[in-house]
Amino acid sequence: MKVKPLNKASFVTRLTLAAMLIVTVYAFVRFDDKEVTLWEGLVFTLANFKTMFSEARLEHFTFWHGLYQVMVTVGLALLTTVFGAVISLFLGLFAAHNLSSTPVSAAIKGFVAIIRAVPTVLWVLIFAVAAGLGSVAAVIGMTFHSVGYLIKAYAESFEELDKGVLEAMRASGANWWQIVFQAVIPSTITYIVSWTFLRFEINFGVAVAMGAAAGAGGIGYDMFMASSFYYDLREVGAITLYVLILAILLEMIAVRIKRNLNRSEVA
């Protein structure tokens, strides 16, 4: 049985975990439960879910208005994903250490790490200072965070390429752009599509939240009104079903596209 020595990194990790455990226990002890027991809370929660999904109905807008608002949310997510993917594809090439110099790669990766560390809603609120609350700030903020996410994903996909292929193309006299379009992009297109669709699904969920938090419109604003203004759980349930059905459809489309890409690569 081997016992690993306690180094500085493992000590800091254990100390952080212990501190988080202590804070969590303290928070549960000091939590104001309003004299509601755990069992009563579970019963109330299940009752609310039953009301939301078994009695779901629209009270303050029609089915077609809800469908239109969902499409607005999808458009917001699609717009930010397209902008983010185009920018990230270009910068991801320079972030990959096998396609770029070490200082440039390290600088880009460090910059996007800072972007990812800040939640999307904070970026939206930061840009809202200049653009004001609304769809413009939401698009810029969500695109900004999407770029930080996709650059890392694309760069890691590019870095997994076989070094022999790149060296062979350089030896044959291919320039940087020829290597990118004839070797890098064709070899990683499946990963690019997968990461892009994954980010699109994330952006769709974020767009729902931004509809309420940043006034970006869409189905998120209607959900905010139903939950915080009308206090109508049935309408919240109906809106949740809108979002859930669309999320399932997006996942089915993503799986179908990736399956077709895999078939074309095999052929």
128-143 tens-digit pLDDT: 877 777 778 888 888 9
User: For a pLDDT cut of 90, what percent of the chain falls above it?
Assistant: 11
What tokens does 215 get? Answer: 């006034």
Between 59 and 214, residue with greater pLDDT? 59
- The mean pLDDT value for 48-58 works out to 84
pLDDT at residue 265 greater than cutoff 70: no
pLDDT for residue 151 is more than 90? yes
Output the average pLDDT for the chain: 83
At the second CATH level, the architecture of 61-266 is: Orthogonal Bundle (1.10)
**pLDDT above 60 (res 1):** no
C-alpha dihedral sign at 129, 243, 246, 261: positive
In this structure, the chain runs to a length of 267
- CA atoms 255, 257, 262, 266: torsion sign: positive
Lowest-confidence region among 108-112, 154-158, 166-170, 193-197: 166-170
Q: Which pLDDT does position 266 carry in this prediction?
A: 59
Band of the pLDDT at 244, cuts 50, 70, 90?
confident
DSSP state of 42: H
Cβ atoms within 10 A of the Cβ of 256, count?
10
> Which pLDDT value is given to residue 163?
81
Q: What's the pLDDT score for residue 88?
A: 92
In single-letter form, the type of residue at position 264 comes to S
Note the pLDDT of residue 22: 92
E strand or H helix that includes residue 150: helix 135-159
Cα separation, 215 vs 64, whole angstroms: 21
Residue 139 CA to residue 79 CA, distance in Å, equals 7
Given pLDDT bands bounded at 50, 70 and 90, which one contains residue 6?
A: low
Give the separation between CA 81 and CA 200, rounded to whole angstroms: 6
Lowest mean pLDDT among 53-57, 191-195, 241-245: 53-57
Share of the chain above pLDDT 70, in %: 93
Residue 9 has pLDDT above 60, yes or no: yes
**Is the pLDDT score of 176 beyond 70?**
yes
| Cα pseudo-dihedral 148, 153, 159, 165, rounded to 10 | -120
pTM beyond cutoff 0.85: no
Q: Among residues 119, 166, 164, which one has the least CA distance to residue 145?
A: 119
Tokens of 182: 């004839």
Parse the chain into domains and list their residue ranges: 61-266
- Cα angle value 105/111/112 (rounded, 5°): 90
- Give 243's pLDDT tier (boundaries 50, 70, 90): confident
Q: Is the pLDDT of residue 175 over 90?
A: no
Is pLDDT at 85 greater than 90 in this prediction? yes
Question: Is the distance from CB of 193 to CB of 111 less than 8 angstroms?
Answer: no
